[in-house]
Structure 1
Amino acid sequence: MRVTYTPARGTLRELAQAYTDSFAPRDGDPKKVPDFVETIVYTPNTAVLMTGRYASEEEARRRGNVINGVGWWFKPWFYQHAETALGRSGEFVEYVPTREYYHRHTRALFWEMKLILPFGDRWWCRWLLGWVMPPKISLLKVTQGEAVRRYYHDMHVIQDMLLPQHKVADALEFLHTEMEVYPIWLCPHRVFKYPMKTMIHPEAGFELNQRQGDTSFAQMFSDIGVYYAPGPVLRGEAFDGSEAVRRLEEWLIRNHGFQPQYSVSELTETNFWRMFDAAHYEHCRKKYGAVGTFMDVYYKCKKGKKTEEEVRAAEAAAVAEVANAEKND
């Protein structure tokens, strides 16, 4: 994989535009579109744009080319390695073995390991213990108590959001105001237009606007990943994680955004179906007799501060309410 690291500086809006330009050339030249794209926003004024193109081993081994096996246990964590681009005079290129590129964020769990094991990025820890990274997430969850889980919920952010590409700059500014979490991960995602309306769908009439990255058959979205402790928490200031997530979810609904449900969610059932289109889903549930038999997708996903038992009790109450309404009809 031929990986190009390009430093970027400016306002959040300028960084968002540089990110868009990295994979959606303004002249529409398909030869300029890379195979892989990501951007890491390190501060409100700095980011590193990364693009990857498949390359042969022969090309990688040509004289003068740099091969970097980022997957070795003793290597610096990838996000920290990429950040070194900000200290250089311009972009730089290196060749990364394809499989190691796919797993570039695995050892550090993006940058979450810095919170889990603060000294894990030190050279001596990487040399001695880097081979055991990362710890198994399921093991970490099993060993944490309810008090720790609730504290983590309030004092930590783990969110992904999918929203139209032209809204990325607005999202970065909103996140800075509401959460102030850095680094932020950006990755493009194309949402196709289908004959029927799916739960995740493009904006109505997007094909008429033809914004940067859009085509007649798909709208360009971006996944924005926010994983770390918020600035107020790091500074010892007050921070209400649940309320911040609620405001984020409301903002996403207003801006045609979608929240992957593996992240922390405070969506009410009403807001969940404001975010996701339920028409096709409900049609299938009724057609195949799933109502009252299988748990509704909202209750499969809804956690927030609720325990599993509380979620199941809420779902049972909702099913009973529907059954009573149908009986009265």
Structure 2
Amino acid sequence: MMDGRHGRDVEQIRSSISHFYQSKTPFRVYHGSTNSTRHANFQRDAIVDVSSLNHVLHIDVERKTALVEPNVPMDELVQATKRVGLLPPVVMEFPGITVGGGFVGTAGESSSFKHGFFDRTILSAEVILADGRLVTASETSNRDLFHGLRGSFGTLGILTLVELRLIDLKKYVQVTYHPTNSFDSALGKLREETKQAGNEFVDGILFSRTAGVIISGVLTNSPSHQYTVQRFSRPWDPWFYLHAEHIANQNATHIELVPIEDYLFRCDRGAFWMGRYAFKFFMMPWNWFFRLILDYFMHTRIMYHAMHASGHTDKYIIQDIAIPSENTLEFIEFVDSQFGIYPLWLCPLRNDARSSMGHPKVYYSKFDKSEYQGDYVNVGVWAFRPLSEAAYVKANRDLEGKVGELGGLKWLYARIFFTEDEFWKIYDERSYTELRRTWNAMSLPSIWEKMRERPRMQRKEHQSGLRGHVKGFVMRNGFLSGVYGVYKALRGGDYMLAKKN
């Protein structure tokens, strides 16, 4: 079931794309927000604006499917499906991550060991090609395009609509915390919990070499009264990772009930644990009371806005890595010895994870040299690193080098520091380029061109006049730039699109 507005919006977008195609003018697709940490700046006269495609068009309760535009964020999708007793099988942990970003980017969560990445829940996609043609892709129609869209980041066409599958909604997640005391015990428990038939969710957090917790969840409508109900979404609730750390330190299995939305977006407040660095940066007391009164600033939508406005993406190592299970222990040992970064997030992934991640080449097991068919583990390596530019780049390149050595892949939402040659040693340029030619997408930027590292783009107002000098001074000062980021987040509005001259 379509509405007239969607058709009109798509026709307007098609017209813009056709104009750029005919005039051979490069353009970028503007969505209105981002969960990427890459440098970005959009010019108004060189964009195709798809930010209006942000509606849930129809939910078919009998078929358990939904027609959803790509800029619908996760929290709005969950609200819409909840009203009819359904739920997406994979819901990314930050409420602002969009359906389109989850499909053509890379998006997994604690249910991905069972359902795969978010793209595996998509049944069909409506796409505008680079020449303005509108096509539908699915397993039965334009199959090569459908599979190629996974991890393509808009380099094969412009996504305008998806059909996704849903599952039955249940009100609670019965969450079990399993404390661990070593890397081996954590990874062993992670594998064990993914094999438990009733589990819908499995992930884990390492707090140190000797302290961690593996967390499993079961959907339920019939909660046992012997378990307490724990929430994470209200300002006075604990941040999830602090709650999990407290349980890990008790060194005893703990079970509780968490309302479904509190579980799905449990890491929104504090962005897992990254919000703690803001307290350190602004020298704020680290206690429950100040987390309560500063709660508004500690949600991911606000934090991403402030981070981009302040330029502080250059001060954080924020990398998600998918590592073959056979190499996960070696990778964690490397992160521990090289960086000492904690906490680390662990999220088990299905064995089809690799093909969702940006057209990579096959990985051959380092043990038997055959094509690797096993599972993967997402290791989240996120920390504030106030390093010099050279040291910051080296740290990221060292991390990338180890990932490549172990057959892993990076989420490409993050900054990448590969050279072009290094990039195409990991990704299959030949088959990817052939697919782009087949679908007339060569006028769009390639994944490499879109994702490669660039210096921060300087806006014109930064370059001249009193205002430009003042702003330049602020942005060069670490503390003042942080204050400026908070100010911009409070002010709201657009933080990706360059102002009109």
Indicate how the Cα distance of structure 1 residues 116 and 194 shifts in structure 2: closer, same or farther if over 3 A, else same: closer
Mark the runs of 5 or more structure 1 residues left unpaired by the alignment: 25-29, 310-329
Distance 2:279 2:436 in 1: 44
Aligned: 1:177 with 2:343? no
Aligned: 1:246 with 2:412? no
Normalised by the length of structure 2, the TM-score is 0.51
Aligned: 1:307 with 2:467? no
- 2:483 — aligned with what? none
- 1:109 — aligned with what? 271
8 Å CA contact retained: 1:202, 1:219: no
> Which residue of 285, 288, 301 maps to 2:436?
285
Distance 1:238 1:280 in 2: 35
SS of the aligned residue for 1:75 comes to coil
Indicate how the Cα distance of structure 1 residues 149 and 96 shifts in structure 2: closer, same or farther if over 3 A, else same: closer
Aligned amino acid, residue 171 of structure 1: F
SS of the aligned residue for 2:322 comes to strand
Aligned amino acid, residue 116 of structure 1: A
Aligned: 1:99 with 2:99? no
Indicate how the Cα distance of structure 1 residues 201 and 47 shifts in structure 2: closer, same or farther if over 3 A, else same: farther
1:171-229 superposed Cα distances (whole Å, 9 cap, x missing partner): 1011112211100000011132999x9814664479x999xxx9xxx631111101113
The CA deviation at 1:122 is 2.0
Query: RMSD in angstroms over aligned alpha carbons?
Result: 3.2
- 2:11 — aligned with what? none
Indicate how the Cα distance of structure 1 residues 264 and 193 shifts in structure 2: closer, same or farther if over 3 A, else same: closer
8 Å CA contact retained: 2:176, 2:253: yes
SS of the aligned residue for 1:223 comes to strand
Aligned: 1:87 with 2:252? no
1:140-176 superposed Cα distances (whole Å, 9 cap, x missing partner): 144315xx554x1xxx311111111111100101111
Give the paired residue count.
279
Q: Which moved more, 1:121-130 or 1:242-251?
A: 121-130
Aligned: 1:188 with 2:348? yes
SS of the aligned residue for 2:294 comes to helix
Distance 2:362 2:254 in 1: 35
Distance 2:233 2:397 in 1: 37
- 1:268 — aligned with what? 419
8 Å CA contact retained: 2:324, 2:374: yes
8 Å CA contact retained: 1:257, 1:275: no
Distance 1:191 1:226 in 2: 21
User: Identity over the aligned pairs, expressed in percent?
Assistant: 21
Mark the runs of 5 or more structure 2 residues left unpaired by the alignment: 1-172, 459-501
- 2:207 — aligned with what? 42
1:29-65 superposed Cα distances (whole Å, 9 cap, x missing partner): x53x621011100011111110011111xx32x3322
8 Å CA contact retained: 1:8, 1:47: yes
- 1:295 — aligned with what? 445
| 1:127-276 equivalence runs, <5 A | 127-134=292-299, 136-145=302-311, 148-150=312-314, 152=315, 156-192=316-352, 199-200=359-360, 203-204=363-364, 219-229=374-384, 240-276=391-427
8 Å CA contact retained: 2:351, 2:376: yes
Distance 1:226 1:245 in 2: 11
Indicate how the Cα distance of structure 1 residues 242 and 205 shifts in structure 2: closer, same or farther if over 3 A, else same: closer
